[in-house]
Amino acid sequence: QVQLQESGPGLMKPSGTLSLTCAVSGGSISSSKWWSWVRQPPGKGLEWIGEINQSGSPNYNPSLKSRVTISIDKPKNQFSLKMSSVTAADTAVYYCVRGGPGGGHGADSWGQGTLVTVSS
């Protein structure tokens, strides 16, 4: 069974660039067409950030598109998220996910999530 593990800084300063990596284990990243990032601010609901496919083509949440880049590294079996110009509003638990909410198989595997706090 595939497992996902997020890694990245827990604390960031405003205006910085957030970088997170999702390591996929127990299976090949090529086993699924799409891989996504989802975030959840403390006490709030889920927000889809974006996704990337096997060809490296991404889709992004329009509200975040100008600040977000998602990439895939098949040899390393991982995919990554970069978000620039972060503010306190970007404080959230960030999840990496196999699939997505509208995909044929849904978002069927989730990482445990990593809390990113943006504070000066």
Distance CA 94, CA 63 (A): 16
Based on CB atoms, which residue is closest to another protein, 23 or 46? 46
**Residue 113 in the binding site for another protein (CB under 8 A):** yes
**Tokens 């950030």 belong to residue:** 49
**Residue 10 in the binding site for another protein (CB under 8 A):** no
Based on CB atoms, which residue is closest to another protein, 15 or 57? 57
Alpha carbon 98 to its chain's center: 10
Provide CB contacts within 8 A for 113, sequence distance 6+.
6, 40, 93, 94, 95
**Residue 35 in the binding site for another protein (CB under 8 A):** no
From candidates 90, 95, 116, 118, binder to another protein by CB under 8 A: 95
30: left (phi over 0), alpha (psi -120 to 50) or beta: alpha
Q: How far is the CB of 96 from another protein (least distance, A)?
A: 10
Q: Which residues bind another protein (CB under 8 A)?
A: 36, 38, 45-48, 50-51, 59-62, 95, 100-108, 110-113
